[in-house]
Every structure is written in C-alpha cells, then in structure tokens.
Amino acid sequence: MSVFSTSPPNISVEEAEAIVMEDYGIKVAARLLDSERDQNFLCSDPEGTRMVLKISNPDEDRVVVEMQNECMKHVRDNCSRWEVPFVIPSIEKKEITVVDRGVNTYFVRLLRHLPGPLLKDVVQDDHMLYELGLFLGDLCVAMSSFKHPYAHRDFPWDIACIDFIRTHKHYVSEDVAILDYFVGHYEENVLPNISALREAVIHNDANDQNVLAYNDGGVRGIIDFGDVVYSFVACEPAVCMSYVALERDEPLGPITQVLRGFHDIFPLNKYELRAVIYMMCIRLCITVTMAAYRKNLFPGNKYISVSEAPAWDFLKKMQNVELRAWSRGFSELC
C-alpha cells in the first residue's frame, strides 16, 4: 500500500472544525478543498484570518511530513522575497498533531493561508512566464542547500522514476504506444548523460494551482510541498513547463520564457538544457498514467484527472514534433 493506493481521509467539516478547536484553541468555519491524496480544509476564524487544515493520507510517513515542514522553513529562511506556507503550532506547541480514528491514524497540520490569486487565475504573458522562471530559479537556489534523508525516496511523481509508467501503463485506456514512445526518447537522449545532470531537493510541483500570483501580474510564492523529492535539478523547470504548455496551440514560446528565466538565475549546463523537453514529456506521461491508475481505485475523486485530457492532447501533438530540434534550441540558452 502507498499514499497513491490508500483512500484519502474522510473527515467531515464538523470534525475538522472540532480538531482545530481542540488542538489549536481556535474557533473556525471550515470548507473542504480539492486534494489528490490528502484532505484539506480552508478555515476562517471570527476575525477573518484564514488557515488551511491539512490531514495527511493514512499511509503517509510522519518523517515525510516533518521533511515538508523543514523544507518550507528552509525556503522562508533562505528565499525571503517569496511567500511559502508556515506551520501554526498547536496548543501544546506541536507542529504535527495526531487524529486517531480507530482503523486509521492521521497526521494533522494547521498552516497559515496565503492570500491572492493562483497562477491559473492571472494572464500568463511572456513577462509573467519569464518572472515565473526567475522565481523557480530562486527557489532552486534556496532548496539546493536543503538536505534531508527522506527526500531520497522512490516517488512516482519524480520524473527520474520512469518505472512507474512501465508498471502501471496497463491501466491506461488510450494508446499505450504513446507512453512507450516518450519513455524511449528519454532513455535514448537523457539517460546516457545522467552523470552530467545535477541533483538536489526540488519542490517538484510548480503547477498553476500551486504558484501564487499578484492581481496585476508577478509571482508571490508557492504552496504545497507534498511532492518534495531529491531528483534532477532540471526537473524543477521541466515540471512547471509541462503544465504551462497545456492547452496552448503554440507552447514553445511560453515554455522557453520559463526556461530562460530559470536559467538566468540558476544556469543549467548543456546536458540539462537538452534534457528538459524529454523530462517535460515524461512528466505528462506520469500525469496520464497516475490518473488512469487512481481513477480505477477512486472513481469519485474528479480532482485526480484534472490535467489528464490536456496532458493527452499535448503528448499526441508532441509525437509529430522533432523533439531533438526543441532540445537543441533549449541548449542554445547556454
């Protein structure tokens, strides 16, 4: 069992409000938020202060939750110009509390809610996408000095873990040959240069629902450190670029802006730049494979497949693109 095959928590709104009152001494009104494998509630106290109650999947390891907390603190301490969540301690001064529901035990945290629109809610013009890249570069600089033994984990959302695609592609109802096509390109064009690809702890999920923006444009910060992992540094911009590319007729210009901004802050070597397009495609292969796998387990959770259809559209389009040409174009940023 894993957090991907175990049912998310099923805590009611009333129970969530009671948890905040009992553990934190705060009276709140709560409402359920969308979540992939955990359970999150947006909570507001009588003064209008907002918090997020995060209840971890019952199969989550406590050490992983602790790692997420430590990583957020590390980023705040080393990248102060950007906003990231911070943990509100309980009455007993604990960053993580425990809820026992008999069969399952859940790790619980209360985080300060960060206001403002998400990236998905603002205009993503070239300037905004370049600034997004600058932000990711800053984030990578800050996180490159973060060390934690539990970041070194086998994690399906890690682009370096292509075995997940191989072992779960039978759940996919679309043309599996598409997945084999991109895995083959990754093996041929990325793996031979693996010694030149630097590694560090990365956020690994800078999508448009996790990046915070200003109403008039510009990046404010990032939320959701649940996918933090030790992986290739080049995966950080690749993950972000894969989501920026979705639902665009001409994605090359926008994703190049993100990569250019990242590279201006955190310069990538030629092998890393060449690898980015293949990493992007692998990330979206993971997206559609994970959606197919988890829809089979949890058909009622619509959030699981939020990016599935546009990811398939992009992958099908990229079958007709000369990936090596894009790879060479990215490497010219050196």
Confidence of residue 1 (pLDDT cuts 50, 70, 90): low
Which segments of the chain belong to CATH 3.90.1200.10? 119-331
Q: What is the pLDDT of residue 305?
A: 83
pTM: 0.95
Q: Per residue in 140-176, pLDDT tens?
A: 999 999 999 999 999 999 999 999 999 999 999 988 9
Span 227-236, average pLDDT: 98
Confidence of residue 74 (pLDDT cuts 50, 70, 90): very high
Q: Which of the four CATH numbers 2.40.10.10, 3.40.50.2300, 3.90.1200.10, 3.40.50.300 does domain 119-331 have?
A: 3.90.1200.10
Confidence of residue 299 (pLDDT cuts 50, 70, 90): confident
Q: What is the CATH number of domain 13-112?
A: 3.30.200.20
Which segments of the chain belong to CATH 3.30.200.20? 13-112
As given in the structure block, the two tokens for residue 241 are 């670029």
Q: What is the CA radius of gyration of the chain?
A: 20
Nearest Cα neighbor of 201 from 227, 175, 222, 181 is 227
Average pLDDT of every residue of the chain:
95
Q: What is the pLDDT of residue 116?
A: 82
Span 258-265, average pLDDT: 98
Is pLDDT of 246 > 90?
A: yes
Q: Where are the alpha helices (DSSP H) in the chain?
A: 13-24, 62-78, 126-143, 163-168, 176-189, 235-244, 252-265, 270-297, 308-318, 323-331
User: DSSP 3-state assignment of 153?
Assistant: coil
Q: What is the pLDDT of residue 326?
A: 94
Span 80-106, average pLDDT: 93
